[in-house]
Amino acid sequence: MPNETTANPKISDEARLREIVGEPIPIVRDKEMPRLDKYCRQFIEMSPFLCLGTVGADGHIDMSPRGDPPGFVQVLDDTTILIPDRQGNQRVDSMQNIIDNPRIGLIFFLPGVEETLRIRGRVSITSDSDLLGPLALNGKTPKLGFLIKIDQVFFQCAKALIRSKLWDPATPIKRSEFPPFAQITRDQRRPDAEIAEVEAMIQENYKTQLY
């Protein structure tokens, strides 16, 4: 006779979830902070990469990578940060979601450090030139930025990055082991084009439209 877990594998309430997972220890349960401290500030100021999560009015979830030289995210005060919106693909998926729903989630990465920094908050899209001016890069000021008011911030332990060996020098695959982006783009969207033609288009875009 099947046991309860086998008969009903779907977890649909917190009590059942806790029965399986257990309770977090107090030092983990109480780690959220309402504002940045000196360690959070330093992590953000050194980070060259983050992932930005938004949710649209229809419940659609989008996760967008953002990267620039370290310090590209400006800490305005202990509860406010500003992320520049650089030249992109004009899809504005994240921004459309933000117009509908101002909730946002961020996770910052720091190469060589296996812990990550997570932020939950509320976001607005700003075109304020006074705010965006200091974020100019290569002589180009971003037209828009994500102005984020922090609700919660906390460090995430290193288990995921330890398991994945993300920063291990031996981890990167040989580039030849995965198809070139030009080939993927051609096969998915331009089946009549030559790969070399698509590659040239991609490289020209990187050269002229990065900032």
* pLDDT tens-digit series, residues 26-71: 888 888 999 999 999 999 999 999 999 999 999 999 999 999 999 9
Side-chain half-sphere CA neighbours of 147 within 13 A: 14
Contact call for residues 38 and 72 (beta carbons, < 8 A): no
Q: What is the DSSP letter of 78?
A: T
Is the pLDDT reported for residue 1 higher than 60?
A: no
**pLDDT, position 89:** 82
Please name the fold of domain 25-164.
Pnp Oxidase; Chain A (2.30.110)
Residue range(s) occupied by CATH 2.30.110.10 in the chain: 25-164
- Nearest Cα neighbor of 144 from 208, 94, 102 is 94
Is the pLDDT reported for residue 8 higher than 80?
A: no
Please tell me the distance from the alpha carbon of residue 69 to that of residue 84, in angstroms, as a whole number: 12
Q: How far is CA 154 from the centre of its chain?
A: 15
* pLDDT tens-digit series, residues 123-162: 999 999 999 999 999 999 999 999 999 999 999 999 999 9
* pLDDT tens-digit series, residues 151-210: 999 999 999 999 999 999 999 999 999 999 999 999 999 999 999 999 999 999 999 888
Continuous segment of H or E residues that includes residue 122: strand 113-126
pLDDT-based confidence at residue 90 (cuts at 50, 70, 90): confident
Is the pLDDT reported for residue 7 higher than 80?
A: no
